Amino acid sequence: MEKHDGGDCVNDGSVNDSRDTQKNRKSEQLDQFKVDNKGKKITTNQGVKVSNDEESVKAGVRGPTLIEGIHLKEKLMHFDRERIPERVVHARGYAAHGEFELYESLKDYTTAGFLQTAGQKTPVFTRFSNVAGSLGSVDTARDVRGFAVKFYTEEGNYDLVGNNIPVFFIQDSMKFPDLIHAVKPEPHNDIPQAASAHDTFWDFIANNQESAHMVMWQMSDRTIPRSWRMMEGFGVHTFRFVNSEGKATFVKFHWKPVLGVHSLVWDEAQKIAGKDADFQRRDLWECIENGYFAEYEFGVQLIAEEDEFMFDFDILDATKLWPEEIVPVKIIGKMTLNQNVTNVFAETEQAAFHPGNIVPGIDFTNDPLLQGRILSYSDTQIYRLGGPNFTEIPINRSVCPFHNNQRNGFNRQRIDVGQVSYHKNSLAGNTPSASTKEEGGFVHYAEKVEGRVIQARSESFNDHFSQARLFWNSMSPAEKKHITQSFSFEVGKVQSVSVKQQVVDMFSRVDNEMAALIAMNVGVNEPAGEQSTVEQSSPALSQERTNRFPYSLKVGIIIGDGFNDQEVKETIENLSKYGVWTYAIGEKIGKVTGSNGLVIHVSETFSTTAPVLFDSLYIVGGSAGNQAKFNSDSIYFINETFMHYKPMSIASTGQSLFTASEAKKGPGIILSDANTASSDEFVKAIAQQRFWDREIY
């Protein structure tokens, strides 16, 4: 090996190169709208060639600017209108294209065309997002993550608009504006941004206790994911499958990341926010660009319609999940995100997702939170995207033909021909005409509905703490510790003693010991509440049971001149074999040379990167021009990595740096010498990612 370029992705053949991936139908449709300005002459939007794009038209070189300068007017007019309203929630997001492949047919449950034939592939567009923060906030805030997938099916677009948490704060959409008002920056000072650690949010929680289950998830590591590629997705709501015989089955949707579910630690997440606000979007972009595609298996939970009332929770309650040990997740396919967007605004920002976009064979239920979302999303898109024709924007266009009598409106792009724009008619043979069910026409499930008009909540929605307790029981000791620490941080930021006390009393109903510790940490009285008696657990809820792979994780190599060539070469080659990314970090960007002449390119310096941006460190050490500074910076990287429970490998030439640090020998620390091959052990440690039993300082 002549040279190793830090940051280069090594492809071991286990993934396809993104450049060679066959384009799907949606990508080909988008191609016709793409314009490459490279090598072209500048023109106005009317196509008139421009002779000067730097100075406005003036009366004399120092005279007043003239109103007849039409190019200036057009340029400023367009610039003044470049921004559209950001989403009220889920404003900060990022997206990618890909495809969904079905493993096995679901025709026994649904007529949905994209779920009929094993091996069938459907183009998709997936957007990940934060909920609370503005468009300019950071990626790593503690927050729920959106997980929205648009399937471009042959029967129309189907949108599965979910989150990375299977439940929600509230049961009825009437309360959604109140929830968001509470979690957004407080109106009197517009602080804090993208954070729930403030009075109004926790006041809302304490006085709307249906949120107990969701808040347990929010205080867990799930809300600070390591990567969108390592995060689950859920449809949240209960939907219906309907088959060709008209039989309905209740269904919940799941996305299971192939790489498993992994998270940051809170101190690390806060530091990353300052070092790289785009940490998660950069991760997705770079991995797809280098052929390390994001993959998720698609699963469904199914409950027969006749079994709707056999559980001790209401299956239509959005604050409840269906424990996988009771209702197993059936894996039916896989989504692969393999193509980055060409233009973030044109695709990601203008993408219009809507839970009401369904196809034949999939239908709604009476979940009151879902019902409100169906109402709200269309209004949102009309407001953001300038009118009812947002479905004609390229990213939102279906891949199948669409015909109707809707006409005109802002930003109309279709040029409809003919004199008829109504139904019924004789001038066009009563076309476009409706389709029968047999022809694929959408027919809502014929659910029997009866009852009085009323504004009330079903008594079956009244249990708010059983599943919150179930979640707590399912956590590992490390996860429980993190939840308690999260509560202590968030509630500790609350100024109102009354609100803090209310929160502590509320969550004593989940676990008395947890609530008592929070009370001590935030300075309020011992909790007064009766703990839930639920003793069951659901192991599937713990991240500790997740998959372990080193694939696409990042290792920083702390290195200077004079390293052991053979030892370092073998380690780097072995890491590359397992799909691990390596970045050489040194005193300055350039080359470092081993004791026998091996040259490695240093791509990062201690000032251009940070230890929190890596999943692991390889401490090689060596000599530098400013040895004292090199040693000091290296020790800082070691201490930070050790404190965040990450693995490290210490080369023979790096032993003195490790000894000088505050890190200790123990779990996840691989010590080697020039005669010991330890790179396989290092790979296993990288795959584990965290060593929670490590004694920190």
> Which residues carry out catalysis?
90, 163
What 3 state SS string does 403-415 have? CCCCCCCCCCCCC
Report which DSSP code applies to 416.
-
Cis peptide before 647 (omega within 30 of 0): no
Q: Are 636 and 611 in contact (CB under 8 A)?
A: yes
How far apart are alpha carbons 148 and 603 in whole angstroms?
35
Q: Are 242 and 209 in contact (CB under 8 A)?
A: no
Helices (H) and strands (E) in the chain, counts: 17, 18
> What 3-state DSSP class applies to 172?
coil
For residue 576, what are its two tokens? 């590359």
For 670, list phi and psi in degrees, rounded to 5.
Answer: -105, 110
> What 3-state DSSP class applies to 211?
helix
Q: Is 466 left (phi over 0), alpha (psi -120 to 50) or beta?
A: alpha
Q: Is 154 left (phi over 0), alpha (psi -120 to 50) or beta?
A: alpha
In the block, tokens 């289950």 appear at: 213
Query: Looking at beta carbons, which pairs linking 204-207 to residues 24 or more positions away fall under 8 Å?
Result: 204/178, 204/179, 205/169, 205/503, 205/506, 206/499, 206/502, 206/503, 206/506, 207/502
> What 3-state DSSP class applies to 522?
helix
The count of C-alpha atoms lying within 13 angstroms of the C-alpha of 111, restricted to the half-sphere facing its C-beta, is 21
How far apart are alpha carbons 686 and 655 in whole angstroms?
19
CA distances from 567 to 149, 324, 558, 580, 672 (A): 45, 46, 14, 17, 9
- First-to-last CA distance in the chain? 38
How far, rounded to the nearest angstrom, does the alpha carbon of residue 696 sit from its chain's CA centroid? 30
Alpha helices in 623-688 (DSSP H): 627-643, 655-660, 679-688
In the block, tokens 């219009």 appear at: 352
Q: Are 361 and 110 in contact (CB under 8 A)?
A: yes
Rg of the chain in Å (alpha carbons): 28
Residue 214's H or E segment, with its range, is helix 212-218
Q: Are 352 and 385 in contact (CB under 8 A)?
A: yes
Report which DSSP code applies to 39.
T
Alpha helices in 276-399 (DSSP H): 279-289, 344, 368-385
For 368, list phi and psi in degrees, rounded to 5.
Answer: -70, -25
Report which DSSP code applies to 493.
T
In the block, tokens 């959408």 appear at: 442
Residue 123: burial class (beta carbons within 10 Å; 0-12, 13-18, 19+) = buried
Closest CA to 363 of 450, 253, 443: 443
Neighbours of 121 (CB within 10 A): 16
